[in-house]
A and B are shown apart, each in its own frame.
Chain A
Amino acid sequence: MSSPDRLVYMANQIGTFFRSQGHDKAVPGIADHIKKFWDPRMKRAIFAHLDAGGAGLEPNVREALTSLKPATSLPAAP
């Protein structure tokens, strides 16, 4: 289930950890974490979800994904 729900849940969970570090540290922290640990299909799916409105994403997480997306060049989906 790389379905958006599951990925949104995971992304928000990451966001919650960084919350207490404040917005300025949290946003790059979240982006870096997803960049380092998510496989391309998961990244593609969450970016697609972001493009489709990004329902359910916490504000810091949305901002992190928005910043991460242009910096990520993923191989095309097979």
Chain B
Amino acid sequence: MSLIEEIDFGTPRSKSETMVTLTIDGNQVTVPEGTSIMRAAMGAGHQIPKLCATDMVDAFGSCRLCVVEIEGRAGTPASCTTPVMPGLVVHTQSERLKKLRKGVMELYISDHPLDCLTCGANGDCELQDMAGAVGLRDVRYGYEGENHVFAKSHGEVNAAWMPKDESNPYFTYDPSKCIVCSRCVRACEEVQGTFALTISGRGFDSRVSPGMSESFLGSECVSCGACVQACPTATLTEKSVIEIGQPEHSVVTTCAYCGVGCTFKAEMRGEEVVRMVPYKDGKANRGHSCVKGRFAWGYTNHKERVLKPMIRERIEDPWREVSWDEAFSFAADRMRGIQKKYGRDAIGGITSSRCTNEETYLVQKLIRAGFGNNNVDTCARVCHSPTGYGLSMTFGTSAGTQDFDSVENTDVAMIIGANPASAHPVFASRLKKRLRQGAKLIVIDPRRTEMVESPHMKALHLPLMPGTNVAVVTALAHVIVTEGLVNEAFVRERCDWSEFEEWAAFVALPQNSPEATAILTGVNPKDLREAARIYATGGNGAIYYGLGVTEHSQGSTTVIAIANLAMATGNIGRPGVGVNPLRGQNNVQGSCDMGSFPHELPGYRHISGDAVRDQFEALWNVKLNPEPGLRIPNMFDAAIEGTFMGLYVQGEDILQSDPNTKHVVAALSAMECVIVHDLFLNETANYAHVFLPGSSFLEKDGTFTNAERRIQRVRKVMTPKNGMADWEVTIALAKAMGLEMNYSHPSEIMDEIAALTPTFAGVSYAKLEELGSVQWPCNEKAPEGTPVMHVDGFVRGKGKFVVTEYIATDERTGPRFPLLLTTGRILSQYNVGAQTRRTENVVWHAEDRLEIHPHDAEQRGVRDGDWVRLKSRAGETTLRAEITDRVAPGVVYTTFHHPDTQANVITTEYSDWATNCPEYKVTAVQISPSNGPSDWQKSYDEQARHSRRIVPAEAAE
């Protein structure tokens, strides 16, 4: 194994299809029109010296190191900014060029420290490389003159010198090593789209400046690390590199955070991660990343990680460390005992959307084949289950329709109930890039999110009242139908016309107009009409949506309404359009694909289908139960009722993440065996009897499937610290319960998945090795996968329009609970925070705050930073207030990353009518000033501390 070196072509790839042939150093080179001479030369294997150019950003032409000679042209143009032309004859090396380059390098080095041996970038420094490339042997100017290098010169303080900025927890900024190539500034603008960096001053005074000469941490910087990656010197360097040294080998793998599924190179020294660097060939991220994926992997060796199996008789007892065998036999005995006492259907399990496809597949297999029932569910229940229902009904498959590259062809993006800048940051950067090229953006969200306003973009914002999505989307349809903006040719060809007519007649009813619904939705009818017109007529229209759509009583209805909208405008079946659910977790798509839902076998085939069951029964050699099992909320209900008593939970913290915490506590407390399989003693583990240590994504092989259905490899870079990868743990538990599973590597599990699942038929580790990644469906019809769905027709045949009547949620505001609470996420934290809270990311978000509009705050005497009591019909908690007009009057908002916030004590048991996906996004609440934590928070904390006691195993004599 060696370090994977990606070729830096110096300037971005040209998309032109017109080819141009020229001569570089005597070789004929043919490249797309618009390619720079630098890139063309690199493609031919001739590296022209360069400093300010890198292919992640546009050419800038400032360093003058990449000069070339072109026959018939005067001077020495920069090869990065000079495009190819037919017939050019270019020379990249000559006496004149050598002299010029050496002169440039000499000037650079005259203002640069010569501490190469002790420098963090030693071995990975382009400045060092270029000094070598041009043969720099002497710096005639000396180091005595004006400089940025020394704190003191001639015994006096050097005003041009700046100290290191170490404020960011993950990287340092050392201005003395900066050559002002501005690659960092351009990466921040062009790649990330944050515009946090600039060059202040002119000439010799030019400095890289975060914000208005602030610290990195104090500026708008979102710590995506693109600047660090772009920096050719040690100016911006990962602290891990400074501490450990340069990596010696690297392995390509997939991020374990959000559903974007960024590809990374894990750069290693032995079994120690030195840094994570986004991989240019990653088809989801195209070389970019966010703060979580690039930097927040420290949780994998956090001191709180539990590495030994533990059991206890009762949840009041302290944990007892035991051997793996003892843990498995204890768990198996308990689970089988429960089945004997309460019946076969009295146990079940929850698969993890953070684990691999292979691991998820094994857990559902254990449940269906080993437990003998279908009581399997996954956290998608509480996030995107309505997507599955709504898109299957209308299009015939739950699949999101596009790949992420599609956004490069989008003319109008409509974001509904999602905040990609926080939750899917790399997609947000890719979208912002397109918006800066002129695409339009519509944001439908109760809150003025970071997507509504950011540098060089302004969205048309429809700030709706939480819970009125169906009314708003149906009103958009009303405008499209009544103003004659329907793409009739598309609908006639692709959809069921009579169903369309029925739908069109419904949405055209006066009560569905923007004007009539404004009283409920709070959306200005004029803006809504404009949004509908832009979406229907502005070119390629793409809808991106998130949990603000699904986590409602009418979550499935809104998904259907969105699908209707896309069909009516013909925005389906080609690049740039589509219906794109932004999946929350790294493998939530995969966990759904792998048969994690109680009613579906892998590949979304209903368990009642005899033919499908026959196939599984033949291979698994068991009889399967044809009846659907319990969904997560149904499991809790059944536990309280006394018919569901044992649960195996892999990589999921249901106590923190599921709504109405008190109800979940009651359910978990009622169970006789809760097995938690996780990296940490999470909140659910407070009520568990068996703890099986989990392994991180760095410690196992497998695959994740991201939001664009892309199956990507996860590769093991270190031995599992707990001794076993998660798939091995599940196999051992299955064996203890009497179900034989024989796999020696996850690739064998994938082979079984491919054999049983038509949409995965063509997937194998060999194919993933060959293609890098593949988007399902991948089978005989599409051997290299399917980037865009429904190209020649819908999966179900004709697209189905379904009437979507707005039904107000039963969660209503009133005199006691006059405000609406809605919830969301923040960039630096992820989900329940189990991982990110155990990293330096806490510097950005140490606690969850309650956002309140100044008007509501003033009425209640609440000041910024005050403790407030947040009370709903379900419960109450306290947290600190943040006063902001990002939320509208009448709406309050919080994140849910910290367990002590207890945000889910507030949320209710109302759920989506079709899927029981909880209504997290609408809770009627009241707030009042408070002195600190509620009694519930105190008693919860006490129970948690009590429950986490561990008695170490006694040493063998």
Q: Are B630 and A78 in contact (CB under 8 A)?
A: no
- Counting chain B residues whose Cβ lies within 8 A of the other chain, the interface size class is 35 or more
A39-B345 in contact (CB<8A): yes
Digitize A4-26: 1 where CB-to-B-CB distance is under 8 Å, 0 elsewhere. Answer: 00100010011011011100000
Spot the interface stretch: B615-623, B632-640, B858-866, B948-956.
Answer: B632-640
Pick the interface stretch among A30-38, A48-56, A62-70. A30-38
Chain B nearest CB, measured from A30 CB (Å): 11
Residues of B within 8 A of A16 (CB): 807, 913
* Cβ-defined partner of B914 (8 Å) among A19, A33, A35: A33
The residue among A6, A35, A40, A41 with the most chain B CB atoms within 10 A of its own CB is A41
Q: Does B490 contact A (CB under 8 A)?
A: no
Q: In the complex, what distance in Å separates the CA atom of A16 from the CA atom of B805?
A: 9
Residue of B nearest to A19 (CB): B805
CB neighbours (8 Å) of B375 from chain A are 39
585-643 of chain B: CB within 8 A of chain A: 598-599, 606, 608, 627-631, 634, 637-638, 640-641, 643
Q: Does A40 lie within 8 Å of B346, measured CB to CB? A: no
A40 touches B345 (CB 8 A): yes
- Which residue of the partner chain, among B374, B557, B627, contacts A74 with CB atoms under 8 Å? B627
Q: Which of B344, B506, B556, B634 is within 8 Å of A2, CB to CB?
A: B634
Q: Are B805 and A39 in contact (CB under 8 A)?
A: no
Contacts A36-B606, A78-B346: A20 and B805 contacting too (C-beta < 8 A)? yes
- Give the chain B neighbours of A39 by CB distance below 8 A: 345, 374-375, 598, 627-631, 634
Interface of A is mostly: helix
Kindly identify which residue among A6, A13, A19, A35 contacts B637, using a CB–CB cutoff of 8 Å: A6
**Do A1 and B641 touch across chains, with their CB atoms under 8 A apart?**
yes
In the bound complex, how far is the Cα of B600 from the Cα of A37, in angstroms? 10
The reply on B835 being an interface residue by CB < 8 A is no
B640/A1 in contact, CB under 8 A = yes
CB-CB nearest in chain B for A39: B630
Number of interchain pairs (Cβ within 8 Å): 71
CB–CB A40/B637 < 8 A: no
Tell me the complex Cα distance, A38–B807, Å. Answer: 22
Which residues in A have their C-beta under 8 angstroms from that of B914? 14, 17, 33, 37
What are the residues of chain A within 8 A of B345 when measuring CB–CB?
A: 39-41, 78
Alpha-carbon separation in the docked complex, A8 to B580 (Å): 34
Minimum CB–CB distance from B636 to chain A (whole Å) comes to: 8
B805 contact set on A, CB distance < 8 A: 17, 19-20
B86 at the interface (CB under 8 A from A): no
Give CA–CA (A6, B199) in the complex, Å: 62
A39-B634, A78-B346 as given contacts; A17 in contact with B641, CB under 8 Å: no
Give chain B nearest CB distance to A65 CB in angstroms.
Answer: 16
A1-B641, A78-B343 as given contacts; A13 in contact with B913, CB under 8 Å: yes
- Residue B803 at the chain A interface, CB threshold 8 Å: yes
Residue from B554, B628, B807 in contact with A37 in the complex, judged by beta carbons closer than 8 Å: B628
Contact present for A20 and B630 (CB under 8 Å): no
Q: Are the CB atoms of B627 and A2 closer together than 8 Å?
A: no
CB-CB under 8 A from A10, the residues of chain B are 913, 916
Interchain CA distance A78-B345 in the complex, whole Å: 9
Which listed residue (A1, A17, A35) contacts B913, Cβ 8 A?
A: A17
Known: A39-B345, A41-B638. A17 touches B628 (CB 8 A): no
A19 to B806, CA, bound (A): 11
Q: Which residue of A lies closest to B554 (CB)?
A: A17
Given A36-B608, A78-B343: A20 touches B627 (CB 8 Å cut-off): no
What residues of chain A lie closer than 8 Å to B344, measured between beta carbons? 78
Residue of A nearest to B341 (CB): A78
Contact of B628 among A19, A21, A38 (CB under 8 A): A38
**Distance, CA A44 to CA B835, complexed state (A):** 41
**Residue interface bits B363-377, CB-to-A below 8 A is 1, else 0:** 000000000001100
Whether A20 contacts B803 in the complex (CB less than 8 A), given A14-B914, A41-B638, A42-B634, comes out as yes
Bound Cα distance from A74 to B628, whole angstroms: 11
By beta carbon, the residue of chain B nearest A41 is B643
A39-B634, A78-B344 given as contacts; is B913 within 8 A of A14 (CB)? yes
**Is the C-beta of B553 less than 8 angstroms from some C-beta in chain A?**
yes
B141 within 8 A of A: no
B844 at the interface (CB under 8 A from A): no
State the CA gap A3–B553 with chains docked (Å): 20
Residue-wise interface mask of B (543-561) relative to A, using a CB-CB cutoff of 8 A (1 in contact, 0 not): 0000000000110110000
Shortest distance from the beta carbon of B475 to any chain A beta carbon, whole Å = 16
Interface residues of B (CB under 8 A from A): 342-346, 374-375, 506, 553-554, 556-557, 598-599, 606, 608, 627-631, 634, 637-638, 640-641, 643, 802-805, 807, 913-916
13 pairs from A and B in contact (CB 8 Å cutoff): A1-B637, A2-B637, A2-B638, A2-B643, A10-B916, A14-B914, A16-B913, A17-B914, A21-B803, A38-B628, A39-B374, A39-B634, A42-B630
Known: A20-B803, A21-B802, A77-B343. 9 other contacts (CB 8 A): A1-B640, A2-B641, A3-B637, A33-B914, A37-B631, A39-B345, A39-B634, A41-B345, A74-B627
